[in-house]
Amino acid sequence: MRVITLNVNGIRSAARKGFFAWLSTQNADLVCLQEIRAQAEHLRDGVFWPEGYHCYYAHAQKKGYGGVALYARKRPDEVIEGFGWPEADREGRYLEGRFANLSVASVYVPSGTSGEERQNFKFEFLAHFFAFLRRCRQIGRDYIFCGDFNIAHKTIDLKNWRANQNHSGFLPEERAWMDKLLGQEGWVDAFRVLNQEPDQYTWWSNRGRAWEKNVGWRIDYQILSPSLRDRVRRVEIYRAQRFSDHAPLIIDYDYPF
């Protein structure tokens, strides 16, 4: 089972940069997209409904903002939009497909880089989402949460960590949230199951030739139930083409789909 996640930073922009042509060569079973920045009326072109997939979108109420998508080779038994916190759900930040005992969700955690108000909103989101994840653990399903979490977990996960310790995305409180999630709560960072190397990033600033110099952050994840840890078979951050300021995170699982 191949699962791909990507923050497209505008789905129409990514389409113009060749994302859907590339996707057609990937043989992915599930695709999670974030920050589509489009409403239903913007997605009438067939390119946004790739052949062979059941396609679902959760739009933000605000135009040109947020939004997530889920494409699946197999029709889900159920599709759930939002995780139950209205302030986040109206920004189009969560979309889950259920397939027998497997749930795969596209998640877009808020960024706090625009100022204190949005950083406080991000902290609120993290608190509500943490409680939701705890409930998910109690249900006993297999979960894969794919998306842009807007947090670099450890110093290995961003190039200039010393200079960013007081910046959103690497704040002590954000890192502690991730520590708790991947520690006592038992969730699994799928990429790090197989790849412990440095300089593995999924996002690069558009300033200062960051992409070219690989001065980046690893803020995109596939977060798994403990039951799936031993199912991870291959991980890749795809950089041969650039569709966004993020790179696709591709993970293959030994899991029937």
Question: So which residues are the catalytic ones?
Answer: 148
Whether this prediction's pTM lies above 0.95 is answered by yes
- Which ranges constitute the DSSP H helices of 97-232? 116-139, 172-182, 190-194, 210-213
130 contacts: CB under 8 Å, gap ≥ 6: 177, 180, 181, 185
Q: What is the β-pairing status of strands 249-253 and 232-237?
A: antiparallel
Q: Are 6 and 244 in contact (CB under 8 A)?
A: yes
**87 — pLDDT class (breaks 50, 70, 90):** very high
Give the separation between CA 67 and CA 91, rounded to whole angstroms: 7
pLDDT tens digits, one per residue of 189-198: 999 999 999 9
**Exposed e or buried b for every residue in 74-111, given b needs 16+ CB within 10 A?**
eebeeebbbbebeebbebbbbbbbebeebbbbbbbbbb
pLDDT tens digits, one per residue of 37-85: 999 999 999 999 999 999 999 999 999 899 999 999 999 999 999 999 9
pLDDT mean across residues, the chain: 97
Give the separation between CA 209 and CA 141, rounded to whole angstroms: 42
Share of the chain above pLDDT 90, in %: 98
Structural domains for the chain: 2-253 (3.60.10.10)
Q: What is the β-pairing status of strands 30-34 and 68-72?
A: antiparallel
Shortest CA distance to 168 belongs to which of 94, 218, 130, 114? 114
Q: Which residue do the tokens 């947020």 mark?
A: 66
